[in-house]
Structure 1
Amino acid sequence: MKRLFNLLFAALLLAASCTSRPQAPAEWAGSTVLYEMNVRQFTPEGTFAAAERQLPRLRELGVDIVWLMPVYPIGEKGRKGSLGSYYAIRDYRAINPEFGTMADFERFLDRAHKLGMRVILDYVANHTSPDHAWVTEMPSEWYVRDSTGVPVVQYDWTDIAKLNYATPAVREAMFDVLKFWTDKGVDGFRCDAAKEMPDDFWTDAFVRLRAVRPDLFLLAEAEGPQFHADGFDATYAWELHHMLNSIAQGKQSAADLRAYLQADSERYPASAHRMMFTSNHDENSWAGTEFERMGDAAATMAALTYVLPQSLPLIYTGQEIGYDHRFAFFEKDPVPAWEPNRWTAFYTKLNALRHDNPALASGAAGGEMAYMGGAVSDLMAFTRTAGDNKVVCLFNLSARQQPVIPTVEVGGEYTDAMTGAQRTIVPGEEFALGPWEYLILVLEK
């Protein structure tokens, strides 16, 4: 009898552990919305305590994952500007005092979790600051060095020292960084300059991490199907981003976009999440705001990133209020006091659209895309369908009015996702879309 009791107890424990197993990103990430938080600029205070108070409004906006730009202390040697680059890290296991304390960070993380959001950290594995303790305390082979023994500087990143991944101890130390923050309870990592590290570093590190936390979300700041083979869930859609800029400037067309989407679908696995965006910290500070680059097409391109196949849409700090400003990268340059406006409503509606329509999911769960036949060349006209959920997407990707002649596959009774109005689409009944105008229609059930 005692042996039978022990067997039953073990079976109950096993069943409990199975039901409480964290879901892997493949099971939950398809309908998520990502928000990149520039902590320095997110609030006038630029602290975790101030940012924590704003988390409820991000949740109300519809944000699922908060990506924090690097939160670690910044090096002083070679520092750029008065505050320095977030990506020149002096200590991977501490919090930049500009943002507060470790306790402040932990309260921020706890609050985000209680609101139902995940938090991922920017993980900078390629380099440290030149005054990181490792530069002098560890063997010289921890860094890639020039002929004089000085750590190598890449590009114009004069405030960094490049780590040497041919040294096993470096790999282990950088894995320990991932483990440290995973143990703190963060939900994943955006991996900076992912192409600079060997593929097998990512593979080995992720296998070990996911043995403990299978639900970690891993985003590569890189483009290429190999990163999904390495274990990343999501990659940047850089090529698409530059194409959207180019279309908005009249240099490319919807035909180029269709060709891109076809090629992308053939290169990437069905499970891939492709982060699509009209802005991020690099683009905003160095290439300009979405309004500078895209002009009147800015809202159209943002909406498009929510409905294309495989898209994981991104909102960057300030976009939710339409802030048309290039942030100073190395200085304090905060968003004005936050007040909701039409851009807040715009992104709230897009986020709800993504959450409410499984046809728009990224990854393997997403709905099939089918083009509407007979559309003019500057029109992106397609459906996304999953089961009984159907979304019709009609985008005029030009500065000229374009005719739309609906075909039978898009006929029906719909709700306009952006206005809530009811709309009947009759096959063959022509209407027009104005310059950069779009319609996202959800089939009524």
Structure 2
Amino acid sequence: MNDIEWWRNSVVYQVYPKSFNDSNDDGIGDISGITEKLDYLQKFGIDIIWLNPIYKSPQVDNGYDISNYREIDPSFGTMADFQKLLDETHKRHMRLILDLVVNHTSDEHPWFKAAKSSKDDPHHNYYIWKDGDGKKLPNNWGSSFGGSTWEYIDKLGQYYLHLFAKQQPDLNWDNPKVRQEVYDIMRFWLEKGVDGFRMDVISLFSKDPAYPDGPVIQNKAYGSYYKGAANGPKIHDYLQEMNSQVLSHYDIVTVGETPHTSVDEAVKYTDANRHELNMVFHFDHMHLDYDENGKFSTKRFKLSELKEVFTKWQNGMAEHNGWNSLYWSNHDQARPVTRFGADDTKWREQSAKMLGTILHMQQGTPFIFQGEELGMTNAKFNSIDDYSDIETKNIYNDFMNNKKLGLKYTMKSIYLKSRDNARTPMPWSDGVNAGFTKGTPWIKLNPNYQEINVKNTLADSNSTFYYYQKLIKLRHELPIITNGKYVILDKNNEQTYSYLRENDKQILFVTGNFTDKEQTVELPKQVRNKDGKLVISNFEKEFKTTDKVVLPAYGSSVYLYKK
């Protein structure tokens, strides 16, 4: 594998269209609203824009339930609006990738409407069905959004599989007609000029034909479906077929979302010699603060465990011709300054910069979720009625009515982990509705938008925005960030995170303080007593000698040395 692929030293900015910018004041962000803000993204310096789904959808799962893959949802605009966005993005020398959601469709999709009309309909085998009587489920799998993964259709005497909401029936990838339908959809968008795809839950396409029961975790009514649905027996055959028939014919980038995937398995997806994908999203660092109730917990991660995860992926992918995607957050995750920074008030900006430093100096392609460059925090809403997300509402019901965990604990866990933390409208100003819309926003604004917004951030030369802008610029200017070997230095330290990046000519020393107390970091032998150039730091006064560096609360620094 060579180092010329453009996506290797690119930085991706994720736009959640519904919450980014509303151009027609109906309270919902739209495609024209994104076009209006392209100059902002160009100023920021990013290379690639990733859009969450913009296709026609009943919006049961905020667009991840698609009823027509070739139409724009009217709430977002028209195909002409999209073409203008794409053209204007390319004019500014940026690229644009779309979300490809083909593990499942909406139950409103014509394929599924036909599939449930009759067992004899040609589309019936586009989905996964099991015979039954409506009493005994085909297996014990539990849906990601609560309840069983199986929904009974009395007229057919059959269950259909849905790993997510019951309105999101899973496609049958074992059917070659389904695969060809998907490839045609991909070509439709690639011929328009899109620059690639982020592929939703791609590791779940191939199911174990035995559909084995999954392990039941404490307090769960159903078993996990991952044993029988993740990294199934034909997944790599399907992706190699997709690559051969579609992906290899275009100069694009692909990133697969791969829940329940290890480093060893991820290498199979990303090794260039296997001709599948360019990179994948893993979730190992996202699971470090889970507890017996899963994601919705009040547990705090351990820094040593975070370092162990990052180090495993950095070294494992590098050793096997793979490539990492780097992220702290996305549309499904909490805001990083609240989740990984500990104090999102006093130390908000300092910790946001430190977290950016620790992530962006690693090997891989960084993904920045909208608002991360502002140091946005989780949104503390007072009532469950203020939340919109289907997962959050199901958890509220489960915690309150089934597990009897009480209102205080339930609302705290929702504050810490709800997907709506990422989905509050982008705050463009301190004015009415944060400049997002003149209408009524589809979801409430983060209550702190008058302090944390684009207007204030751009006016402050020391803001998180300009710090992230410099991190992006460094990735473009310093090849060592792309090609250097990663070496962990302090794997058991629970206060600081330090590592090296090394190539033939240079060494990069990266260090960050994850506490609100001053920390002293010993320089490793590779750079001790050498003259190093300070590349970037999130504090003004440099406390460094030839053998140590002193980091203030949430301080971070990067030094470059010649070999």
The 3 A distance-change label for structure 1 pair 384 and 146 is same
Residue among 91, 98, 103 paired with 1:121? 98
Deviations 1:263-315 (A, max 9, x none): 652366554222222210011xxxx322332223444223211012x332111
1:315 equivalent in alignment to 2:389: no
Match of residue 192 from structure 1: 200
Deviations 1:52-89 (A, max 9, x none): 121121121121111110110003xxx53xxx521000
1:217 equivalent in alignment to 2:253: yes
1:169 equivalent in alignment to 2:169: no
Deviations 1:328-381 (A, max 9, x none): 4479952222425122122212211222211111xxxx1123455999664333
Counterparts of 1:244 and 1:64, CA distance in 2: 31
1:356 equivalent in alignment to 2:488: no
Counterparts of 1:90 and 1:124, CA distance in 2: 11
Equivalent runs, 1:404-419 vs 2, <5 Å: 404-410=521-527, 411-418=530-537
Counterparts of 2:18 and 2:491, CA distance in 1: 49
SS at match of 1:339: helix
Deviations 1:185-228 (A, max 9, x none): 11111000101113222110112224421x21010001422322
Match of residue 92 from structure 1: 69
1:207 equivalent in alignment to 2:240: no
Q: Is the 8 A contact 1:416 1:422 kept in 2?
A: no
Cα deviation for residue 160 of structure 1 reads 1.0
Residue among 335, 345, 349 paired with 1:289? 335
Counterparts of 2:38 and 2:314, CA distance in 1: 35
Counterparts of 2:168 and 2:493, CA distance in 1: 50
The 3 A distance-change label for structure 1 pair 244 and 145 is closer
Counterparts of 2:490 and 2:427, CA distance in 1: 46
Deviations 1:27-64 (A, max 9, x none): 22221111111111111331211211211211211211
Letter in 1 for 2:46: V
Q: Is the 8 A contact 2:311 2:488 kept in 1?
A: no
Letter in 1 for 2:536: A
Match of residue 32 from structure 1: 10
Counterparts of 1:323 and 1:111, CA distance in 2: 27
Counterparts of 2:507 and 2:289, CA distance in 1: 25
Counterparts of 2:327 and 2:491, CA distance in 1: 29
**Which has the larger displacement, 336-345 or 92-101?**
336-345
**Which has the larger displacement, 273-282 or 374-383?**
374-383
Match of residue 511 from structure 2: 394
Cα deviation for residue 388 of structure 1 reads 3.7
SS at match of 1:304: helix
Cα deviation for residue 179 of structure 1 reads 1.0
**Which has the larger displacement, 202-211 or 190-199?**
202-211
Q: Is the 8 A contact 2:107 2:113 kept in 1?
A: no
**RMSD of aligned C-alpha atoms?**
3.2
Counterparts of 1:55 and 1:165, CA distance in 2: 37
The 3 A distance-change label for structure 1 pair 378 and 281 is same
Deviations 1:113-158 (A, max 9, x none): 1111111110011111101011234431111124344662434512
Residue among 94, 100, 113 paired with 1:136? 113
The 3 A distance-change label for structure 1 pair 212 and 24 is farther
SS at match of 1:417: strand
Counterparts of 2:256 and 2:7, CA distance in 1: 15
The sequence identity of aligned pairs, in percent, is 23
Match of residue 42 from structure 1: 20
SS at match of 1:179: helix
Cα deviation for residue 182 of structure 1 reads 0.8
Match of residue 339 from structure 1: 455
- Unaligned stretches of 5+ residues in structure 2: 24-28, 115-121, 132-152, 207-234, 292-297, 344-350, 380-386, 391-419, 429-453, 458-462
Match of residue 253 from structure 1: 303
Q: Is the 8 A contact 2:505 2:562 kept in 1?
A: no
Match of residue 439 from structure 2: none
1:183 equivalent in alignment to 2:191: yes
Counterparts of 1:403 and 1:124, CA distance in 2: 47
1:72 equivalent in alignment to 2:189: no
**Which has the larger displacement, 45-54 or 92-101?**
45-54
Counterparts of 1:233 and 1:29, CA distance in 2: 9
Q: Is the 8 A contact 2:335 2:372 kept in 1?
A: no
Q: TM-score, normalised by structure 2?
A: 0.65
Higher relative contact order (CA 8 A, sep 6+): 1
Counterparts of 2:464 and 2:202, CA distance in 1: 32
Letter in 2 for 1:345: Y
1:58 equivalent in alignment to 2:41: yes
Q: Is the 8 A contact 2:539 2:556 kept in 1?
A: no
The 3 A distance-change label for structure 1 pair 267 and 53 is closer
Counterparts of 2:491 and 2:73, CA distance in 1: 56
Cα deviation for residue 90 of structure 1 reads 0.4
Counterparts of 2:308 and 2:543, CA distance in 1: 27
Counterparts of 2:544 and 2:365, CA distance in 1: 29
Counterparts of 2:276 and 2:512, CA distance in 1: 34
The 3 A distance-change label for structure 1 pair 245 and 357 is farther
Residue among 309, 321, 325 paired with 1:275? 325
Q: Is the 8 A contact 1:192 1:220 kept in 2?
A: yes
Deviations 1:101-122 (A, max 9, x none): 1111011011111111111110
The 3 A distance-change label for structure 1 pair 408 and 211 is closer
Counterparts of 2:186 and 2:170, CA distance in 1: 18
| Alignment: residue pair count | 405
**Which has the larger displacement, 149-158 or 367-376?**
367-376
Cα deviation for residue 240 of structure 1 reads 2.9
Counterparts of 2:309 and 2:239, CA distance in 1: 31
Match of residue 5 from structure 1: none
Counterparts of 1:217 and 1:339, CA distance in 2: 32
Cα deviation for residue 414 of structure 1 reads 1.0
SS at match of 2:324: strand
- Unaligned stretches of 5+ residues in structure 1: 1-22
Cα deviation for residue 322 of structure 1 reads 2.4
**Which has the larger displacement, 54-63 or 387-396?**
387-396
Counterparts of 1:340 and 1:74, CA distance in 2: 35
Counterparts of 1:415 and 1:244, CA distance in 2: 33
The 3 A distance-change label for structure 1 pair 387 and 56 is farther
Match of residue 559 from structure 2: 441
Letter in 2 for 1:276: L
SS at match of 2:377: coil
Cα deviation for residue 241 of structure 1 reads 3.9
